[in-house]
Structure 1
Amino acid sequence: MSALDLLPWPNADRRKAKRDSDRRTQARDEGGWPTLSFFCELRGPELVRLFQDETLIPLLKKLGATVTIGLVDLSRERAQVARQLSAAGVPVAAWLLLPEESGYWFNAHNATDAWERYGDFIAWTRAHRLRWSRVGIDIEPNIDEVRMVRQRPLAVLRAIPRIFRCIRRNREMYQGLVARIHADGYPVDAYVFPFIHTEREAGTEVLQRITGMIDLHVDREIAMLYTSFVRPYGEGFLDFYARHFPAVAVGVTGGGVEEGLDPPPPLTWDEFTRDLRLTRRHTRDIHVFSLEGCVEQGYLERLVDFDWGVPTHAPPDALERAAALTRQMKFALRALDRPHVASLAATAAVVVPIGLLGLAVRMLRRGDDDGTPDPQQSS
Structure 2
Amino acid sequence: MSNLDRVTLSKPGGRAPRRRWEALRLSFFCELNARDLARLFADESVIHLLRRLRATVTIGLVDLSRERAQVVRRLNEAGVPVAAWLLLPEEGGYWCNAHNAGEAWERYGDFVAWSGAHGLEWERVGIDIEPNIDEVRAVRRSPLALVRALPRIFRCIAENREMYQGLVRRIHADGYPVDAYVFPFIHTEREAGTEVLQRVTGMIDLRVDREIVMLYTSFARPHGHGFLDFYARHFPAVAVGVTGGGVEEGLAPPPPLSWDELARDLRLARRHTDDIHVFSLEGCVERGYLERLVDFDWGVPVETEGATERAAVLTKRMRIALRALDKPHVTSLAAMAAVAVPLGLLALANRALRPSDPSRGEQPEPEAEAPASSTAS
1:286 and 1:298 mapped to 2: Cα distance?
19
Shift of 1:330: 0.5
Shift of 1:214: 0.5
**Cα displacement string for residues 1-51 of structure 1 (whole angstroms, at most 9, x for unaligned residues):** xxxxxxxxxxxxxxxxxxxxxxxxx8234x3xx211000000010111111
- 2:153 paired with 1:160: no
3-state SS of 2:323 partner: helix
The corresponding residue for 2:127 is 137
Change in Cα spacing, 1:357 to 1:151, as seen in structure 2 (3 Å) is farther
The corresponding residue for 1:69 is 59
- 2:327 paired with 1:338: yes
Shift of 1:339: 1.4
Shift of 1:239: 0.1
The corresponding residue for 1:231 is 221
Shift of 1:73: 0.6
2:42 and 2:110 mapped to 1: Cα distance?
27
The corresponding residue for 2:268 is 278
The corresponding residue for 2:98 is 108
2:223 and 2:212 mapped to 1: Cα distance?
21
- 2:160 paired with 1:170: yes
The corresponding residue for 1:266 is 256
The corresponding residue for 1:10 is none
Shift of 1:227: 0.4
Letter aligned with residue 21 of structure 2? R
Shift of 1:173: 0.3
The corresponding residue for 2:318 is 329
Check conservation: 1:278, 1:312, Cα contact below 8 A: yes
Letter aligned with residue 138 of structure 1? D
- What is the correspondence of 1:10-21 to structure 2 with a 5 Å cutoff? none
1:246 and 1:200 mapped to 2: Cα distance?
16
- 2:205 paired with 1:215: yes
1:227 and 1:357 mapped to 2: Cα distance?
49
Shift of 1:151: 1.1
The corresponding residue for 1:371 is 363
Check conservation: 1:278, 1:313, Cα contact below 8 A: no
TM-score, L = length of structure 1: 0.88
2:338 and 2:43 mapped to 1: Cα distance?
62
Q: How many equivalent residue pairs?
A: 344
2:238 and 2:300 mapped to 1: Cα distance?
19
Shift of 1:336: 1.1
2:179 and 2:321 mapped to 1: Cα distance?
29
TM-score, L = length of structure 2: 0.88
1:297 and 1:368 mapped to 2: Cα distance?
82
Check conservation: 1:69, 1:94, Cα contact below 8 A: yes
1:119 and 1:297 mapped to 2: Cα distance?
36
The corresponding residue for 1:347 is 336
For the aligned residues, what is the CA RMSD?
Answer: 1.5
2:355 and 2:152 mapped to 1: Cα distance?
46
Shift of 1:284: 0.4
Shift of 1:352: 3.1
Shift of 1:132: 0.4
The corresponding residue for 1:27 is 20
1:70 and 1:89 mapped to 2: Cα distance?
19
3-state SS of 2:85 partner: strand
Check conservation: 1:149, 1:156, Cα contact below 8 A: yes
3-state SS of 2:57 partner: strand
**Cα displacement string for residues 190-224 of structure 1 (whole angstroms, at most 9, x for unaligned residues):** 00001111111111111111111000000000000
Percent identity over the alignment is 76
3-state SS of 2:339 partner: helix
- 2:78 paired with 1:85: no
3-state SS of 1:254 partner: coil
The corresponding residue for 2:9 is none
- 2:31 paired with 1:41: yes
The corresponding residue for 2:195 is 205
Normalized per residue, the structure richer in helix is 1
The corresponding residue for 1:288 is 278
**Cα displacement string for residues 107-133 of structure 1 (whole angstroms, at most 9, x for unaligned residues):** 001011111111111111111111000
Letter aligned with residue 259 of structure 1? E
Check conservation: 1:108, 1:214, Cα contact below 8 A: yes
Check conservation: 1:37, 1:67, Cα contact below 8 A: yes
Shift of 1:340: 1.0
The corresponding residue for 2:308 is 319
Structure 2 portions without partners, runs of 5+: 1-18, 366-377
Check conservation: 1:40, 1:68, Cα contact below 8 A: yes
Check conservation: 1:159, 1:211, Cα contact below 8 A: yes
Check conservation: 1:74, 1:121, Cα contact below 8 A: yes
Structure 1 portions without partners, runs of 5+: 1-25, 374-379
Q: Which one scores higher on RCO, CA 8 angstroms, separation ≥ 6?
A: 2
1:144 and 1:100 mapped to 2: Cα distance?
8
Compare CA radii of gyration and give the structure with the larger one: 2
1:37 and 1:366 mapped to 2: Cα distance?
78
